[in-house]
Amino acid sequence: MTTEISLPTLASLNYYPYIDDHGELIADFQGKIGVYAIFNQDKNLQFIGYSRDIYLSLKQHLVRQPQNCYWVKVQTIERPNRTVLENIESAWISENGDTSITKAIFKQKWTNPIDVKESMTPEEQENYHNIGIDELQKSKVLKTVARRVEEEILAILEARGLKTQIRFNPKLKELGLLDLK
Domain harbouring 62, CATH code: 3.40.1440
Residue 1 lies in a domain: no
Residues 84, 16 within the same domain: yes
Residues 96, 37 within the same domain: yes
**Alpha-carbon span 14 to 101, nearest angstrom:** 21
Residues 72, 126 within the same domain: no
Residue 110 lies in a domain: no
Q: Give the end of a domain, one of 102, 125, 153.
A: 102
Domain residue limits at 142: 115-178
Q: 165's torsion region: left (phi>0), alpha (psi -120 to 50) or beta?
A: beta
Residues 54, 92 within the same domain: yes
How much of the chain exceeds pLDDT 90, in percent?
77
Residues 61, 120 within the same domain: no
Of 105, 181, 118, 109, give the one whose Cα is nearest residue 146.
118
Residue 22 lies in a domain: yes
Residues 24, 98 within the same domain: yes
Residue 92 lies in a domain: yes
**Alpha-carbon span 91 to 48, nearest angstrom:** 11
Residue 177: strand, helix, or coil? strand
Residues 27, 87 within the same domain: yes
User: Which DSSP letter does residue 15 get?
Assistant: P
Q: Hey, which of 1-15, 102-116, 126-140, 160-174 has the most confident mean pLDDT?
A: 160-174
Residues 46, 79 within the same domain: yes
Residues 78, 123 within the same domain: no
User: How many domains does the chain divide into?
Assistant: 2
Enter the pTM of the model.
0.88
Residues 98, 120 within the same domain: no
Of 45, 150, 167, give the one whose Cα is nearest residue 95.
45
pLDDT tens digits, residue range 82-138? 999 999 999 998 898 876 776 777 788 999 999 999 999 999 999 888 877 888 899
